[in-house]
Amino acid sequence: MLYPIILAGAWVIFHLFFRIQVIGRENLKKIQSTGFILAPTHISAIDPVFIAIARFWGKRMVVFGKKELFEINPFVTWFLKQCGCVMVRGTKDEMETLQNTIEECKKGRGLLLFPEGTREKEGKLIPPKSGLFVVAAGAGTDVIPCRVLYDTPNGHMKLFCRVRVIFGEPMPAAQFAMESRRDIKTLRANKQALTNAWIDLGQRYGFEGAATA
């Protein structure tokens, strides 16, 4: 129940401290599958907030977060859970969480997952990990490549900078179907396809310091 209030408050506060531009929001309406996965690159710890307020409408998404985020203090843990964040990496329940998320996506829920697995260093894209593609294949969901770019000399987030949130064309669910989790050929092809989509978004809409490779 608190999610709409939190989201509206974040929209107001973040527009006070950043100049936010959203590109490609119409691509969110082109999803053909029941659920969907947003697959952004990762520069700043607050990237998820920019993505949530850029999307704005729709049901609360599942958001994959590292275990370390839930160990800061009890208030932060409560806040993350209110926003739909669940722990994945570094927990004994990782496989159960993945399976529950697949079922939620089948029911029409969205998932926000950072495929690189960690924040970028030195403005370089990190090859996506396999988790995204396992969920996409299991749930039969479209994947939307996404970039959050900061208009600063080093491409990192700073107060009052321009921020560009870019949603790309959906990658269809059929593209991610695998014969098994060891379908290395399909995994490799989809990892390259997502990386290419990120690069294309950066080249077409990015600032000068945006990572392109």
**Widest CA span in the chain:** 48
Please report the pLDDT score of residue 182 as a whole number. Answer: 73
- Average pLDDT for 147-158: 94
- Band (pLDDT 50/70/90 cuts) for residue 164 is very high
- Average pLDDT for 164-189: 91
Question: 27 by DSSP, 3-state: which?
Answer: helix
* Per-residue pLDDT reduced to its tens digit, 108-149: 999 999 999 888 987 789 999 998 998 999 999 999 999 999
Domain ranges for the chain: 3-205
What is the 3-class SS of 28-78, one letter each residue?
HHHCCCCCEEEEECCCCCCHHHHHHHHHCCCCCCEEEECHHHHHCCHHHHH
Beta bridge pairs of residue 53: none
**Which of 1-5, 50-54, 207-211 has the largest mean confidence?**
50-54
Provide the H-helix boundaries in 70-156: 74-82, 94-106, 131-139
CATH architecture entry for 3-205: 3-Layer(aba) Sandwich (3.40)
Token code pair at residue 103: 């079922």
Q: Are 14 and 53 within 8 A, CB to CB? A: yes
* Per-residue pLDDT reduced to its tens digit, 66-103: 777 677 778 767 777 777 888 776 556 777 888 888 99
% of residues, the chain, pLDDT over 70? 93
- Report how far apart, in Å, the C-alpha atoms of 189 and of each of 7, 106, 138, 175, 183 are: 36, 24, 17, 10, 10
Place of tokens 């029409």: 108
- Average pLDDT for 148-171: 95
pLDDT at 152 over 80: yes
